Structure 1
């Protein structure tokens, strides 16, 4: 793995913005001075990944986005520090590839955010009526049977929508997922918008089968087909068109029934699709929404390791399931990687 900061994928640029943390501190001061109502403060802090817990007057849950579930050792160190210094020594991994820390004191939230930002992590839009963390198949990039690695495309859409004007002004939360394997490991059908990797009939073009309107909880709904084959270059435009319809026609009043699936049900699929097609045309015509230009490799190798050989560093992957991280804690132990033939192997 080459640590190239200009690439999408496993080697990444930061998702954090220090100016946002400064703004959080200033807005908290305004709230404490009575210049901001409790409702306004609640709306603000939720979009910054901070929930107020019910157990005491000063207990917050801080949710950290881990886009596509990909972390570096430095980021694991940062998460461990936050857990040890400001929470209870551990964190919870969510089904949407976030990390949550409970019982964080309100004035420690800033310190936790700054430690996370140093490692490139953000809490922005991890909660509230926003585009939540964009998830990807946990086997992306290492599955031998995947059509292609969806990570660069999921990350590109993450960066496009992070801090986008629509992303934190929606009627309700909005969930997006990417899947590259024949088996739907990430659960695309229960997402508001989902992309499953497909290859064009001629075998040369990358694209996605796109579905929309899924969700669980009240009125569990399986997403409907939006595009059988969408060129990969169009994912920004499709996502923005869907968000524009949801932003313009969604229900801002009734929290228990204002996910996008309720809007689709109220309008009917045909009418909703007409609104979407209209917005998609606008996204394509006026040029304000760019296409995505990622040059795919000529081929993606599938490792065929002999039993006596060791994989290269770039082929080593660790996977965890959602839940509480127990044992020695989050702090990673950094050890040398030995190869066959090494004396210590």
Structure 2
């Protein structure tokens, strides 16, 4: 969101004829001699945002000293006083934000104004998607008295003010939302497939087969495991394309290990030569059914078989 122009009429040093300042460049510099309306322009932005002036609160004088301070003193009470701005939204649409002064400051009484968006009354600029900080420095406008206050304010209040001025408040909101999502995700049970894969990574023989991958989804895990299983027991050349699927690779390795288990039982060797270690799975879980059978034959937790 950005402001493409601001139009001022009858506010402080501005006369009865509307004066518009175009803001259609990334940076706009306003420079002029003293008493040419620079401060009035800055306070016009503040009035548009908040419907008041922080100078009345932070200037050090009594509220009565600001009686009639918003309307140009040379204009009759019937003269129109307003601030208008065109705001450009991220979707490319444009809206007119306008605040009109109804009653100026009177003694200790606050001023009264009406804020509208495309001619429809709204209660705050936040309804138009604009950010406000906490009072008294609610508007992202850096004036001399505001700077003095910001320097002497509490660190948290000072931080909030400059975040609003620099329009980075949304980054804090985004960071908070991301932190909440991460905490929520970490509090949920881990997917069984992911949890068991991480368990296999700690195994001295199986770990090297899967340690180089960091999958996050079941599809990525399946692809990684198919690759590992095909490396251990390669598919036959005439095997159809579904051989690349996880269930087919699991069946191939299971059959191979079962055959070798029978071969081992029929021989007099106490254990088969250690050559490779096999991990296998189903699509939804990470079961080592053949490993359970092997654990009844050998004492350690490795799944041992002859090399292919």
Assess same fold via TM > 0.5. Answer: no
More relative contact order, 1 or 2 (CA 8 Å, 6+ apart)? 1
Tell which structure's C-alpha radius of gyration is larger.
Answer: 2
TM range (shorter): under 0.3
TM-score by length of 1: 0.21
TM-score by length of 2: 0.23
